[in-house]
Structure 1
């Protein structure tokens, strides 16, 4: 059903962001305000650059080829049938004027900023990767927060295997032994360096995103090596670099240590208390003094609130987060709400602390946030958000996982099943649940695809070459 008609006196609820908080809040409002929406008394607008919500816990499986990428996203227009979806980038939030500025999708080049008035505003812009001024990082690093990054990384890893296998095949025709010239020797050494570079994969940051992405992709690449006769899985070098003294802090010290040892048993190097100092020209320099070339550098060392929260007059703290109350309203402002990664929400279960920026809190906060907006619209009292963290689950490749839920520590196959079951239950819409289940079922009978579709990044390349040749003829 399309967005409902609007009356002149309708209350306008604007939601900035269509991620966890944005989509689930709109979904809650759509359910609770069905009558008001139908009568045109309330209008809900969601502003989001993409037309879908990405379920990020499934990104590692999408990158590894266990799931079809389109199945880990929820189309906003299909899910939020009674809401108005506007694709665009919010550039400024002015609560004093009760206006937001945004650039509609497709109008970026024109640089024209549109304005939208609101009666109630939800700031759910989420977070972006937190980077550091490390030489070479911006040029060769890749994040792991979006579906596009996951698809790119999958294609890139398989492409690196293709490159290494081709270099190995080419070197077979090089002169060897006593008859080899100095030039041939240098060529062979150059080929070997390029091969080692292609087969070296470095992940910086040992939180959920980094560990799960590395574990799934290493599992996929090891499986793919079966189809490369001149490559051995042991030729690959996978490395996790972490600045602190432990990995996966969310699952506790004991399970974090077990995870580190499990990765090491797979041949993955886990470097704790280590910093990335430089990555210029894909030459990695670590704080422990080691230097080497790496064809792949993935940066997952934390997140920070979306920069748009600082473009306006919202109250923010020293970490760039919006100052929110336990009722998920913004401190000192009427009709403005915030939750999720871009908000500093008090954790009522631990005095003096704030809720962690993770999906578990975001989904639950959105439910409370939607109910509080309904309470404001109907003149009732809001309720505070209070949720005790139940624990965490993480996948470490096919049939491998780790979990710490309600103090119950599980690892291996049972943890992997818990990981899949939990996240499948949280995936929005029955449509997506069924598609994901079908993907997993098919994977029981068929091997993963190992085709690199890297040309998707430059779809017009062949056409441009053809056009260039024709014009030169």
Structure 2
């Protein structure tokens, strides 16, 4: 029996998104060889850089360039593509479920929960059936392809309700994600028009629905008002203090009584901690459904922590010691997820070595958003940049923040190509049903033909009699 193998601490990271990937990445840097075994579990083989999803939806970034392959960049981490559907921390075991539905138990000594968040929706009729989120790379690609395909279809139709529906885009939610997606899609639609002489700018309709009285709470009131004016200038309209009440059959009805028939409804109105992981475990959960986490990233309260359990990112409720967090906790964004993961990795290694942990502290450095090509907004304290300079700051910040130099170069190279060649406007919507054409023309076996009916008993007898007389007749004639 290998004693060294049984005594080596086993670290299980639940989730390979922002916080999970960075935790594993930094653990590889800080751990000595053989000091611990690190395993990361995620159903996807890559981490998605979510701030780039609006640009992916707008065709400004190739989808594969906005994700980071786990196995390419995590050299000393065991990557398992499965879902964690249960955590029994009392016995230090997690239930893993593979893509084929098979389940098995995975034992650990230290668990790091970084399962992220999913779109938070409300039971509004039609939303679950007709809307699409913007939390995954697949959703961003589907949004882009749908908009481009709708332009193709609309160009073949006369002016009227059917064409208006195809050229109407509805975005629900006025936070950073919603505003960026809304502005980028408006920018893409404007750019597409030069390739569709049958359509005009006035044929396109963009509406953002926001329940609150303002957009982008991360920036000042003055800056958010500038964003509203900029969007209106570009033909994109924001409806404040307005709620979606129905979206059956794609007819978006709002609280003001207006109805906007649309073939593309994008939902960005909030997120919630991954419920599969949170509800499927025995770790403490706070009232908003997040794992209760201390400032040093251990699971627990300031008075008491859960031995061997850690959490970070959107799935966790981490105290914001800077005093700027909503309700006293860090807001769910990329800034915190990355920095929490780095601190968590250091603290976990410190615990393994019998050293003290350090509390996580980060003061928000500001907010930056892209509002379509050559337009953006940046806010840091009282400093606010708008327009082209803010757009440059947006691309510089996220270009540098993209993990690994390999991915950075791919994104930067794509931007450089688009500057000279323009956006690629090819829709690959058919990739969502890749076998459709093959099935349409594939040859199939002929259906079995029904067997001939067996002759009746009397007919068999008659045939037999005739057969017996024939030789006699032949002899007589001979």
Q: Distance in 1 between matches of 2:229 and 2:329?
A: 31
Once the two structures are superposed, the pairs formed by residues 200-279 of structure 1 within 5 Å of their partners are 200-279=168-247
Q: Distance in 2 between matches of 1:458 and 1:276?
A: 31
Query: Displacement, 1:407?
Result: 2.9
Match of residue 457 from structure 1: 432
Deviation per residue, 1:85-121 (Å, 9 max, x gap): 00001101111111110112x322xxx3211111110
Match of residue 405 from structure 1: 380
SS of the residue aligned with 1:418? helix
Once the two structures are superposed, the pairs formed by residues 260-409 of structure 1 within 5 Å of their partners are 260-307=228-275, 308-331=277-300, 332-350=305-323, 353-409=328-384
Match of residue 70 from structure 2: 76
SS of the residue aligned with 1:403? strand
Q: TM-score, normalised by structure 1?
A: 0.90
Question: 2:245, 2:253 within 8 Å by CA — same for their partners in 1?
Answer: yes
Match of residue 124 from structure 1: 114
SS of the residue aligned with 1:28? helix
Alignment partner of 1:95 out of 66, 73, 89: 89
Q: Distance in 1 between matches of 2:21 and 2:394?
A: 23
Q: Distance in 2 between matches of 1:29 and 1:6?
A: 20
Query: Displacement, 1:406?
Result: 3.8
Gaps of 5+ in 1: 169-190
SS of the residue aligned with 1:444? helix
SS of the residue aligned with 1:415? helix
Match of residue 176 from structure 1: none
Question: 1:284, 1:294 within 8 Å by CA — same for their partners in 2?
Answer: yes
1:155 aligns with 2:145: yes
Question: 1:54, 1:146 within 8 Å by CA — same for their partners in 2?
Answer: yes
Match of residue 107 from structure 1: 100
Q: Distance in 1 between matches of 2:223 and 2:381?
A: 14
Which stretches of structure 1, 4 residues or longer, exceed 2 Å deviation after superposition? 467-473
Q: TM-score, normalised by structure 2?
A: 0.89
Question: 1:6, 1:42 within 8 Å by CA — same for their partners in 2?
Answer: no
Q: Distance in 2 between matches of 1:242 and 1:472?
A: 57
Match of residue 45 from structure 1: 39
Once the two structures are superposed, the pairs formed by residues 135-214 of structure 1 within 5 Å of their partners are 135-168=125-158, 192-214=160-182
Q: Distance in 2 between matches of 1:101 and 1:406?
A: 45
Q: Work out the number of aligned pairs and report it.
A: 439
Question: 2:165, 2:261 within 8 Å by CA — same for their partners in 1?
Answer: yes
Deviation per residue, 1:418-439 (Å, 9 max, x gap): 0011111111111111111111
Query: Displacement, 1:51?
Result: 0.6
Query: Displacement, 1:208?
Result: 1.4
Question: 2:130, 2:265 within 8 Å by CA — same for their partners in 1?
Answer: yes
Match of residue 438 from structure 1: 413
Q: Distance in 1 between matches of 2:117 and 2:4?
A: 32
Distance change >3 Å, CA 468–CA 209, structure 1 → 2: farther
Q: Distance in 2 between matches of 1:29 and 1:73?
A: 20
Alignment partner of 1:61 out of 50, 55, 59: 55
Q: Distance in 1 between matches of 2:313 and 2:260?
A: 38
Deviation per residue, 1:27-59 (Å, 9 max, x gap): 1110001x2xx3x33100000111110101111
Query: Displacement, 1:468?
Result: 6.9
Q: Distance in 2 between matches of 1:459 and 1:6?
A: 49
Q: Distance in 2 between matches of 1:328 and 1:390?
A: 21
Q: Distance in 2 between matches of 1:125 and 1:444?
A: 36
Question: 2:297, 2:359 within 8 Å by CA — same for their partners in 1?
Answer: yes
Question: 1:403, 1:409 within 8 Å by CA — same for their partners in 2?
Answer: yes
Match of residue 28 from structure 2: 30
Q: Distance in 1 between matches of 2:260 and 2:362?
A: 45
Query: 227-236 or 348-357: which moved more?
Result: 348-357
Match of residue 177 from structure 1: none
Question: 1:9, 1:41 within 8 Å by CA — same for their partners in 2?
Answer: no
Deviation per residue, 1:420-460 (Å, 9 max, x gap): 11111111111111111111111121121211111000000
Question: 1:64, 1:154 within 8 Å by CA — same for their partners in 2?
Answer: yes
